[in-house]
Structure 1
């Protein structure tokens, strides 16, 4: 209810409501696809599906990371007046971003109908990939949200790091364009790992073993770290905010 209310309040009294999310994403995809397909000398019908699914998935990843840093700060009123578990605000933030992701997936449906690729059995990998991404979002929000409530300079730092990660991840460019030692930008980049495990099924590509291994490691290691960290500091969040 809190997540849905957030979406409605953001676009209340607007004629097309939350579908502004989809429209703005579609315009961005079209503009970047025309420009960068010309720069990279890649046919538009090949490049547009790649950048479309990349930006749709990145919208979810970046949204979760940025809002994870402010998840408890934004819920200050609830935290001070309600005995709800602190994790409720994390789930609220995740569901809000998931709803936005579902809206943007409508663009992916249009892309499939016009440009392809035709969905195949690899599309099923999107379910475990989404689960890993959401679980990672939980532990990222528990840690970043707590630290940001204490250190208010952290949210803009996180936003800057996410912006840098955008350029270092294969969103505007493809892994095949890298050579030699620069391949590390993909192989050891956790942002690229989660991008790949979610984007590849949409493009009909088989699973990338390296990306899945890194995503599993980040999810498990981060969850264990967050369990120990949040157990110790969650009682202090009410004082931090």
Structure 2
């Protein structure tokens, strides 16, 4: 199976949403979030789990909002921490609220005994100087650039790095280099749900690893030589073994 670099991942996403294949972003996020929720259900089998989902402002966060809705529908008690809402995803947030997903404003004073925390903060497009600045400041929980206090993703990274709750990351663990992996010695999730195809930075990942997002046309599979494993029946996820 192929492990994608960042440029390949971007190209495949662009092709899926091109005039050739006509997928919409909402469709892709729905399928990604559904497969992520199914992987969490398969690995964390306790009924009526307490689930915390850390939601970022980009598409990875959109996947997390979809996963939150499905996990609530599955019978779990779901909370989201969403420090920088994206107005383009207001419909996803409203759907979460309509399915009794609760919003947790502060990570510093948690009173709920969570069974799993889902990392849907930064996807594969979060890299370069922006990533480096966030990681350098995560211990303080505050990121200051050009005199402005940026939104509190340093606190979210800090929480992920120090929590004892099992972590499930969507697509790639937040803060990892897409191609080089865990270069900053951050947290290691118990579960990883790769989407479309795994990224180079998780090639040596040793935890439970599932592939989700069952939407790649055969033409793209062949063009990019993805060699993804076969899904079984109507399953939306397939486990990857190293």
Q: Give the alignment's TM-score, normalised by structure 2.
A: 0.26
Greater share of helix: 1
- Whose RCO is larger (CA < 8 A, sep 6+)? 1
**Structure-1-length-normalised TM-score:** 0.26
